[in-house]
Structure 1
Amino acid sequence: MFRYLLATVTLGRSSFPYSTSSASMISSSTVAYLTNSCGLTPEKATSLSKLIEVRGAENAGSMFELLRSYGFTHNQLGELVSRYPCYLLADAETNLKPKMQYMVSMGISRDDLPQVLSNKWILSRNLKKHIVPTFEFLKENIPSYGDLVVAIRRSAQLLRSKAREYMMLNMATLRAHGVPEKMIVKLMTKWSTSLMLKRDTFEEEVKRLLEYGFQPTSLNFVLGLSALATQSKMNWKKKRELFRLFGWSDEEFVSAFKVQPMMMVTSEAKLRQMMEFFVGRLGLEPSQVAKCPNLFLVSLKKRVIPRCSVLQVLLSNGLIRRSDVRIITALNSNSAHFTVKYLAPFQGVVPDLLEAYKGNVEFKGFSDELLEPWNNHR
């Protein structure tokens, strides 16, 4: 299997002391090996083979054997090397094996190892200097095993060289401001990148939240910190300016951000698209939208427009009046409530109603848009 894979050349180079036919055999052998070993498609295997030094394929064989010994399935192997080809070149015996042994000894189950190894820093970080201290720190501060696995999987930055140092300093800042431990754990688990800012930057963000009126004991304080920390100042400024262009005052922005901090994690393009639809096509006042910022977290295509199509069908058939509809409530309510109010009572009357709800009926706008205002009293 490996007689062509032990050469010292690199696939894809234009000059090496082998013939084109030899290189072709090497490439074919590598592709076949990757396809058979972990179920990659021929196209994906071909792509990965070009990244690997041919001598590295033997390392790949050792790596596959090690991972299988820890219970990795065929599909899990394929997914891992597809996302992180560096695993194909790693030394299984000296690099990954000691780290996997340590993680299992720390209580990481074999079922969860694929999730943990999706943290790409596992391979490059020193076991004693980085991985062991980081795991011990996380276990001390995240009491739930499930949350620990989630934290490692969600943030590759946890194994960054100074991550633990930054996190310790910033967690101390949060405690000094009265943030409850359960909120700090939630931040570590789901949005740990927020805790890896330099201390002065982190303290600036905390100060800004306090100036906005966030309560340190609330979940929204943690969400707000995550929203501030996970984007550049330039992106933040662009989004603020976008809301101003649509008529939001600074007070309305702060109020909306306090209600739903994660609206600022939404892309600028989506925020613009949503505001254009709400204000331009539905005729809502910008201030009305500001009172329900949860709308920025749902899908325009999969939720907002289909629900508008349902209302369009009902209005055009005279089954409801526009003044009967609290449009923001209709768009923001959960699917069960929307079904009870706008689908169930009329399904036998209007054949197209379910198709409209599935997004299969084009929303053309409301014909009485200029004749009667929406009822938005809550």
Structure 2
Amino acid sequence: MAAMFHLVSKRLHHFLKPISASTTNHVYLFSSSCVNSTHLSDEHPPLMNLFKSHGLTHTHIKNLITDHPGILQADLENTLKPNIELLSSLGISHLNLEKVISLRPRILFVDILQVVELFRAYCFSDNQISTIIMKYPVLLTYKPGKYLKPKLDYLISIGLSSEDISRLVLAEPTILTRSLENQLMPSVEVIRRVVGSESRVLKAIKSCHRLLGYNLEKVLEGNITILTNHGVPRSIVDKLFYIHMNTLLNSNGRLTKVVVRVSDLGISPKTNTFILATRVLSSISDSVWERKKDVYSSFGLSEENLITLFKVLPSCMLISEKKINKMMNFLLNEMKCTFPCILKQPLVLLHSFEKRILPRWSVLRVLISKDVIKKDISLLYAMRISEKRFFEKFVVKYEKVRGEKVALQS
């Protein structure tokens, strides 16, 4: 180790100088003479030319050598040059190349071609391979035959297609670093116990790419037990598994707390609303709930009003604070709706303000001003119906009656 440090220090001597006598002796900065690329080129011309030929600037090279001086010891012809050329051929730009090397400099010292060729053999495109490398470059340092191939073969053996596997690895490249015997295979067995058929196993894995990375025996099966113990029918739990699996991947403690809270609100565990409420509360923090409650409260909603709204539309707490403010202000102050009216048509809160609420209101407002329709018409109902139905009921119909055209803005 001492010999290595001495050798690297000797090579860097031309590049580095101490910051000051008052600073730590081992902290260095590049000397002002290093700003001139000529000095670096004179010291290591082949290395410098290689990096520069692949788009790395003098600053990038300087930073790389400062942070990873071992690069100076890399075998230029047999590993460093072939690896950099391979990475560039995959479409990794000079900026991303610098990031990848900085994240995992060891890729310059090993034969990364073997890993790339393995991915190609399993039908990964070069574009997909480059994306995986940029997301998780450490995979290039794994022995492909020993660590990567067995996992890819296993994924094929359970019925995943090449396209399925490439999507899975693109989304969660860390899946290939998991133990085959201790993680992947046990996880698939748990999924089998939960869903019952091979086709559903594949459906589950494809719908949630990070599923195989969990301790499913503890997390997934534990959470299913928590829900059934609180009276949730298994049929409803199964719906949750496919519709919003992330809820079942919360820690057991977190889900228990949420389920108790939903039960305390008086929502029946035998309803879909119970699952929707559980999903919402498990995906937001207490502080987020309080902030959104404050926004609703600013429009006069009491705690009881908010709970009532949440019980009929749990998703009301997934709306951004900005949109809550915009929607409530418009419904109450511009359209003159009341909270009881909103409670009857709560889905209006989920619609796009710019694409639906505002354009439709511009049509309704004209019709009201011309006494074509009454003010007490269910305006919120008009906001909820389909585009086709709205056009027929409020545009085409009254265009004929009045002989005028009311434009529905898009």
AA paired with 1:290? L
Matching of residues 256-335 of structure 1 within 5 Å: 256-315=309-368, 318=370, 320-323=372-375, 325-335=377-387
Q: 1:121 to 1:147 in 2, by over 3 A?
A: farther
Indicate yes or no: 2:381 matched with 1:353. no
Q: 2:291, 2:227 → 1: CA distance?
A: 28
Residue 158 (structure 1) aligns with: 211
Alignment of 1:97-116 (within 5 A): 97-116=149-168
The TM-score, its normalising length taken from structure 1, stands at: 0.75
Corresponding position of 1:71: 123
- Tell me whether 1:232 sits opposite 2:291 in the alignment: no
Query: For residue 23 of structure 1, what is the aligned residue in structure 2?
Result: 51
Mean CA deviation greater in 25-34 or 205-214 = 25-34
Q: Is the 8 A contact 2:87 2:97 kept in 1?
A: yes
Q: Deviations over 1:99-128 (max 9, x none)?
A: 111111112222321332213440332221
The alpha carbon displacement at 1:235 in A equals 0.9
1:199-218 to structure 2, matched below 5 A, reads: 199-218=252-271
Q: Give distance in 1, aligned partners of 2:137 and 2:394.
A: 50
Counterpart of 1:279 in structure 2: which amino acid? L
1:23-78 alpha-carbon deviations (Å, 9 max, x no partner): 213556878745643x5677766765664537359765444433332233455445
CA, structure 1 residues 77+295, in 2 after alignment: closer, same or farther (shift >3 Å)? farther
Alignment match, 1:219: 272
Which residues of 2 match residues 40-189 of structure 1 at below 5 A? 48=100, 51-53=103-105, 55-56=107-108, 61-73=113-125, 76-77=128-129, 80-81=132-133, 87=139, 91-117=143-169, 118-143=171-196, 148-149=201-202, 151-153=204-206, 155=208, 158-160=211-213, 162-189=215-242
Question: What amino acid is the match of 1:234?
Answer: S
Q: In structure 2, how many angstroms separate the alpha carbons of the residues matched to 1:216 and 1:56?
A: 56
Deviation at 1:133, TM superposition (A): 0.9
Secondary structure in 1 matching 2:105: coil
Identity fraction in percent: 25
Q: For residue 301 of structure 2, give the secondary structure of its aligned residue in structure 1.
A: coil
What is the one-letter code of the residue matched to 1:249?
S
Structure 1, unpaired ranges of 5+: 1-13, 359-378
Relative to total residues, which structure has the larger helix share, 1 or 2?
2
State the AA in 1 paired with 2:51: A
Distance 1:173 1:34, change over 3 A: same
The whole-number CA distance in structure 1 between the counterparts of 2:130 and 2:397 is: 49
**Residue type of the partner of 1:225?**
T
1:142-190 per-position Cα deviation (integer Å, ceiling 9, x unaligned)? 2466654554455465344545312222211222233222322232334
Q: Which has the larger radius of gyration?
A: 2
Q: Distance in 2 between matches of 1:342 and 1:90?
A: 64
Q: Contact 2:116/2:129 (CA < 8 Å) preserved in 1?
A: yes
Moved more, 327-336 or 141-150: 141-150
- Superposed CA RMSD in Å reads 3.6
Contact 1:193-1:229 at 8 Å conserved across structures: no
Paired letter, 2:315: M
Q: Is the 8 A contact 2:195 2:201 kept in 1?
A: yes
What CA distance in whole angstroms lies between the structure 2 residues aligned with 1:213 and 1:124? Answer: 44
Q: Once the two structures are superposed, what CA deviation does each residue of 1:321-353 show, in whole Å capped at 9, x if it has no partner?
A: 342642111112233322332244357865561
Residue number in structure 1 paired with 2:246 = 193
Q: State the distance in 2 between where 1:228 and 1:249 align.
A: 19
Name the CA shift for 1:55/1:177 in 2 (closer, same or farther; >3 Å): closer
Residue type at the aligned position of 2:254: T
Shifted more, 26-35 versus 275-284: the winner is: 26-35
Residue equivalent to 2:13:
none
Please say which of residues 40-49 and 15-24 is displaced more in the overlay.
Answer: 40-49
AA in 1 matched with 2:122: Y
**C-alpha distance in structure 2 between counterparts of 1:60 and 1:334, whole Å:** 55
> Which string of whole-angstrom CA distances, capped at 9 and with x for unpartnered residues, describes residues 228-281 of structure 1?
111111112222232222222233222222222222222233222322222233
Counting matched residue pairs gives 343
Gaps of 5+ in 2: 1-28, 31-39, 57-80
Q: CA deviation at 1:91?
A: 4.6
